Amino acid sequence: MSDAALEVVEFLLTARVYNDDRELDENDLPPRYRQVFWPDATADRDRPGSDDGPPVGIERPLTPTIETARRATGVENPWSAISGLMFTDRDEFTGKLELTQPDMAEEWFLKRGDERVLHNPVLARAFEGEVDGADYEAARDANRPVQADRAWIDGLLAEYFADEDEEEMLDLVDIRAPEEIETTLDDLVLTADQESEIQKIVKAIEHRDYLAQIGLREIGKLLFVGPPGTGKTSTARALAYDLDLPFVEVKLSMITSQYLGETAKNVEKVFEVAKRLSPCILFMDEFDFVAKTRASDEHAAIKRAVNTLLKSIDNISLIQDDVLLIGATNHPDQLDAAAWRRFDEIVNFPKPDRGMRSDILRLITRPMDISDFDPDELAEATEGLTGSDLRMVLREAVLDALTEGRTELTQDDFLDAIEDFEERDHLKDMDMIEGDHDALVAGGDISGGASADGGHSHDH
């Protein structure tokens, strides 16, 4: 029997068991199933009593249809996959799918897909005594929590920002669900110090209750410092992905430059959003903007916003609020003591050394076909380049090869691309060029994807 049939039958069995066992909740459903049963966020906002709590969740009974089965399993023709089975049926008018003989369906499934039970909390609970290794608690712990789902986040935001004026605040923050982040910590090349600091914060998140019990509450505020392109943002996003946490990103220069006169209120709103979405990561980029503003003659409203920001940082906690705060700056020299003391850990993101650059090149070229590839030679030729720079070199080499009708690259393609990159980099610094120098380097910030900004890979 095909994998497609197993996929669809698992979906139907999960819905049936979930409907019958009222002790199960949304965190027991696999995320790919949850997403097809969430109510529409805007409809949820209009429900009676919507101001009384979080967005309404998934309501029973779950009704599998051809469409929900297609979206949940990725099987293009769900009914075709299971129509030959004796225990299935469909309603031609509504598209509803059902198991006409549940016991036969269970027996059929367990003979062919018992390993699937181990990763599905609903089925692990139902068949814990029948399938070797089935452990409901373990399956639930490994399941991504509902608070990290895009649908949950959208529902919460729709409710909290129901007022049309408040909706403008969402333009100031970029909120990503974990499944929308393409970079994992395994995709990154990190230094030993970076890995150590990340491991510390992972352990702190895992043992929040213990830390609260012993009174250690001043923890969970990190400052990432280093030049542009060294992986600060990528690492923060990857941490959100690996910990299954929503990622709330804000650029401080934006939040204190729009809606002048309400900037302090905007700052408070950002922190309120993070607390509403907790547990989550709140990432504040361009943190040096705080120090520059405090030392300048900026508008009084902006100065009030910065003071509000510093107070808000003082009043948010990983232990009490389940919010991990990460600040990032390209200019640590511009931070004053008031800014520094807000953070309990400083994580350095230096430009990669030769060995790091070689590791980065190995990582980002994995999917590619390259003849005579020598990353050590390329690392020697790219002194001073960041991980982001190396990705731009890679992009240039690929595009040049494509213009010649090739998808296989050579070592010379990379060496030529390095030379071209260095020439353009010199152009940026020429005094005769006016205007936006950064516009000369196509692409700008290319964070995202399989990032490789920093030190030593987990795979090395």
pLDDT digits (tens, 9 = 90+) for 5-20: 999 999 999 999 999 9
For residue 152, how far is the Cα from the chain centroid? 15
Quick one: which of 225, 247, 181, 195 has its CA closest to 450? 181
CA gap 226, 232 in Å, rounded: 8
Tell me: pLDDT of 411 over 60.
yes
- Among residues 145, 176, 205, the one where a domain terminates is 145
Q: Is residue 222 part of a domain?
A: yes
Q: Is residue 449 part of a domain?
A: yes
Residues 109 and 232 in one domain: no
Residue at 355: amino acid letter = G
Average pLDDT for 144-169: 79
Tell me: pLDDT of 253 over 80.
no
Q: Is residue 155 part of a domain?
A: no
Q: What tokens appear for 131 in the block?
A: 């399938």
Residues 55 and 120 in one domain: yes
Quick one: which of 73, 103, 75 has its CA closest to 87? 103
Q: Is residue 74 part of a domain?
A: yes
Residues 388 and 366 in one domain: yes
Average pLDDT for 355-374: 92
Q: What tokens appear for 94 in the block?
A: 């509504």
Look at the block and give the residue holding tokens 């050590």: 376
Those residues with Cβ within 8 angstroms of residue 54's Cβ, 6 or more apart along the chain or in another chain: 155, 156, 159
Average pLDDT for 55-80: 92
Strand partners, 346: 223
Residues 44 and 170 in one domain: no
pLDDT for res 83 = 96
pLDDT for res 167 = 67
- Among residues 287, 319, 348, the one where a domain terminates is 348
Domain count, the chain: 3
pLDDT for res 449 = 36
CA gap 379, 390 in Å, rounded: 9
CA gap 287, 285 in Å, rounded: 5
Question: Three-state DSSP class for 62?
Answer: coil
Q: What tokens appear for 63 in the block?
A: 């009704």
pLDDT for res 303 = 72
Residues 48 and 183 in one domain: no
* Contact (Cβ atoms closer than 8 angstroms) between residue 121 and residue 220: no
CATH code at 271? 3.40.50.300
Residues 196 and 327 in one domain: yes
Residues 444 and 427 in one domain: yes
Residues 200 and 112 in one domain: no
Give the chain's length: 460
pLDDT band, residue 45 (cuts 50/70/90): very low
- The distance in angstroms from the start CA to the end CA of the chain is 40
Question: Three-state DSSP class for 377?
Answer: helix
Look at the block and give the residue holding tokens 């409203």: 301
Comparing 92-96, 330-334, 390-394, which segment has the lowest mean pLDDT?
330-334
Residues 110 and 217 in one domain: no
Q: Is residue 368 part of a domain?
A: yes
CATH code at 390? 1.10.8.60
Those residues with Cβ within 8 angstroms of residue 283's Cβ, 6 or more apart along the chain or in another chain: 233, 236, 237, 247, 248, 249, 250, 326, 327, 328
Exposure on the CB side of residue 10, measured as CA atoms within 13 A: 30
Residues 429 and 341 in one domain: no
The proportion of the chain whose per-residue pLDDT surpasses 70, expressed as a percent, equals 82
Q: Is residue 152 part of a domain?
A: no
Torsion, Cα of 26, 32, 36, 41 (10° steps): 70
Q: Are strands 280-285 and 247-251 parallel, antiparallel or unpaired?
A: parallel
* Contact (Cβ atoms closer than 8 angstroms) between residue 291 and residue 335: yes
Query: 226: which DSSP letter?
Result: -
Q: Is residue 150 part of a domain?
A: no
**Top mean-pLDDT range of 275-279, 289-293, 407-411:** 407-411
Average pLDDT for 49-60: 62
pLDDT band, residue 302 (cuts 50/70/90): low
pLDDT band, residue 307 (cuts 50/70/90): confident
* Contact (Cβ atoms closer than 8 angstroms) between residue 167 and residue 266: no
Tell me: pLDDT of 314 over 70.
yes
Residues 331 and 359 in one domain: no
CA gap 64, 13 in Å, rounded: 10
Residues 88 and 183 in one domain: no
Those residues with Cβ within 8 angstroms of residue 40's Cβ, 6 or more apart along the chain or in another chain: none
Task: Assign 3-class secondary structure to 228-261.
Answer: CCCCHHHHHHHHHHHCCCCEEEEEHHHHCCCCCC
Q: Is residue 216 part of a domain?
A: yes
- Among residues 320, 348, 376, the one where a domain terminates is 348
Residue at 75: amino acid letter = V
Phi, psi of 321 (to 5 degrees): -110, -5
Its domain, for residue 396, covers: 354-457
Please report the beta strands in 174-294, taking only residues with DSSP state E, as ranges in sequence order.
174-176, 189-190, 221-225, 247-251, 280-285
- 104-133 tens-digit pLDDT: 999 999 999 889 999 999 999 999 989 999
Tell me: pLDDT of 78 over 50.
yes
Question: Three-state DSSP class for 445?
Answer: coil
Question: Three-state DSSP class for 142?
Answer: helix
Look at the block and give the residue holding tokens 């953070």: 343
Taking the CB of residue 51, how many other CB atoms lie within 10 A of it? 9
pLDDT band, residue 304 (cuts 50/70/90): confident
